[in-house]
Chains A and B, each alone.
Chain A
Amino acid sequence: MDVHSKEFISSNTPELKCEFGALSRSDGSVLFSEGESVIMASIYGPVEATFNKIVIDKASVDCYYRPKAGVPGVQDRLRESVIRNICEIAVAISLYPRTAVLVNVQEMQNRGQLISCAINAVSLACLDSGIDMKFVFGAVSCFLSNNGELSCIPSINEDTVKAMLVFVFNNTTGGIIASHTEGCFSIEQYKIALEMCRKESRNVFKFIKTSLLAADKL
């Protein structure tokens, strides 16, 4: 069930690839690569919640981010909290009170756009699991080089990158669900990056739809 994005994405954006059902036990799983960053994501849910995590009017979302090597650190906690917050707004959690939705993210390879790759992988895993969602979310990373150029592909030399901006959009209104940045940049650059990423997000949603369609035919 491999799907490539080559057919409709130009060369100056990262290539997207995904494989659904990569894990047999989870309700939804995906192996997703954006450029050269690779993430495996899986969803269990709704499942029984542990006693101290029960919320009476909605499902509790738990995210577990595992780095490539070693135990999760403080940085991974931040990623977990961003992914969890996005899932809480996108998944229709009020439909499953007193249950838990478990989101597992395993980093496989990091070449810059790790956060957007992880968010997109979670989005695809949610869709694969068939859990009810209010909308689909898609993330785009954008890199600002030292000479002020914006690009969606990370530079090979890390030192030339001045800032990285990640935006998460929804597929219905194109509103901004999340924004995460690293490095310094001007407001003007932020605006341009936002516009660029919004345009690029349409390709991400197109990719999500094409890949699900391809998986559905099988």
Chain B
Amino acid sequence: MAEEYKSLHPLKYYRDYFAHDIRPDGREFADYRPVIVNVGSISTADGSAIAKVGKTTVICGVKAELCRPRPECPNKGFLVPNLELSPLCSSKFKSGPPGEEAQVLTQLIADVIENSRCINLEELCLLKDKLAWCLYADLVCLDYDGSLLDACIVALMACLRSVTLPHIDYDPALDVKQTNLQERRHIAVHSMPLACTLAIFDDKILLTDPTVEEENLSSGSVTVVINGDELCSVHKPGGSILSEDQLLDCIGKSQARAKSLQELINSAVNAANKMG
């Protein structure tokens, strides 16, 4: 009976639960879903990680290439994120060139990397104006169940922590590169930005870590990216109107979450390092 009621009146179904201060999956409004991080899952990549937030699954792999820096910033390398939302993860995506949602999220991820300065691009430059690393961070969503940006950022940060780059001997006079694959080094990750998505339901209830159903029925969402003690992004693209207190409440909730996620990534990376 509950199933029929849910498919006929999804909004009412959720409201009935929320009236009792509980969500249909048994969580309270401010509860998170369990997060699983696995580091080094793809052996062929220069760094990789899988993040699962509830059912949302994102796999991130970093591929490093050598390239020439751009003339306008000759002492900087590149870190290019790209998110792929394939038909595999949800029926609302079609195959082919990236859709609007994938592009928007890719830009948000790129903004987070740039704003948090977690990777110093100057450290990716090997020789000014001649040689630099270009890191392609490819994120693929395998299962879409809400709070996608949270999972993407967790996967990306765990992945960047695991990236190792081979040592390069470069002779600028002869333009000869010699790659020493045995001597691999981690790249420096200076900070760890972490995202927290909240859905606004009926203009007043704040749901942390929403599922895709909650996102679709919600009247808006807020994504807060925490970078250590600082804020790195407060992204609220329209949707329900919030008061200042509600917005600050979102930030407060995100801070607590970021701390636990940070510990999780640290322990996952450390465990992987011990193993490998």
Determine whether the beta carbon of A182 is less than 8 Å from that of B111.
yes
**Is B237 interfacial (CB-CB < 8 Å)?**
yes
Question: How far apart are A192's CB and chain B's nearest CB, in angstroms?
Answer: 12
Asked whether B233 lies within 8 Å of A175 as measured between CB atoms, the reply is no
Q: Report if A108 contacts B (CB, 8 A).
A: no
A178 interface residue per 8 A CB criterion: yes
Mark contacts of A136-156 with chain B using CB atoms, 8 A cut-off: 1 yes-contact digit, 0 otherwise: 000000000000000000000
Query: Given contacts A74-B107, A187-B251, A190-B251, is CB(A181)–CB(B241) below 8 Å?
Result: no
- Alpha-carbon distance A157/B125, docked complex (angstroms): 25
For the complex, count residues of B whose C-beta is within 8 A of A.
33
Nearest Cβ in chain B — how far from A120, in angstroms? 15
By the criterion CB–CB under 8 Å, are B241 and A175 in contact? Answer: yes
Check A89 against B241 for contact (C-beta < 8 Å).
Answer: yes
Q: Is A170's beta carbon under 8 Å from chain B? A: yes
How many angstroms between the C-alpha atoms of A163 and B238 in the bound complex? 21
Stretch at the interface among B31-39, B71-79, B98-106: B98-106
Contact with B along A166-205 (1 / 0, CB 8 A): 0010100101111111111111001100100010000000
B116 near A89 with CB under 8 A, answer no
The answer, yes or no, to whether B185 is at the interface (CB within 8 Å) is: no
- The verdict on A78 contacting chain B, using a C-beta distance below 8 Å, is yes
Closest to A90 in B: B238
Instruction: Establish whether residues B231 and A85, one from each chain, have CB atoms under 8 Å apart when the complex forms.
Output: no
* Closest beta carbon of chain B to A88's beta carbon, Å: 6
Q: Answer whether A175 and B243 are a contact pair too, CB < 8 Å, given A77-B107, A78-B108, A180-B235.
A: yes
A178-B237 in contact (CB<8A): yes
Is B25 part of the binding interface, using a Cβ–Cβ cutoff of 8 Å?
no
Q: How far is the CA of A182 from the CA of B238 in the complex (A)?
A: 17
> Is A24 an interface residue, CB under 8 A from the partner?
no
Contact partner, B241, options A75, A85, A88, A176, Cβ 8 Å: A176
Q: Check B107 against A181 for contact (C-beta < 8 Å).
A: no
Question: B207 in the interface, Cβ–Cβ < 8 Å?
Answer: no
| Chain A stretch 48-97: residues in CB contact (< 8 A) with chain B | 74-75, 77-78, 80-82, 84-89
Give the residue name and chain of the A residue nearest to B117 (CB).
A184
Asked if B237 contacts A186 (CB within 8 A), the reply is: no
Identify which of B116, B229, B231 contacts A190 (C-beta below 8 A). B231
Kindly identify, within residues 199 to 248 of chain B, every residue whose CB is under 8 Å from any CB belonging to chain A.
Answer: 220, 222, 227, 229-244, 247-248
Chain B, residue nearest A163 (CB): B115
Closest A residue to B114 using CB positions: A182
Question: B238, A184: Cβ atoms under 8 Å?
Answer: no
In the complex, how many angstroms separate the beta carbon of A41 from the nearest chain B beta carbon?
A: 16
Instruction: Point out the residues of chain B lying under 8 angstroms from A184, CB to CB.
Output: 115-117, 227, 230-232
Complex CA distance for A88 and B251, rounded to whole angstroms: 25
Residues of B near A80 (CB, < 8 A) are: 100
Report chain B residues within 8 Å CB of A177: 236, 238-239, 241
Contact A181/B233 with A86-B238, A170-B241, A176-B241 known, Cβ cut-off 8 Å: yes
Task: Enumerate chain A residues within 8 angstroms of B231, measured Cβ to Cβ.
Answer: 181, 184-187, 190
Which residues from chain A sit less than 8 Å from chain B, CB to CB? 74-75, 77-78, 80-82, 84-89, 163, 165, 168, 170, 173, 175-187, 190-191, 194, 198
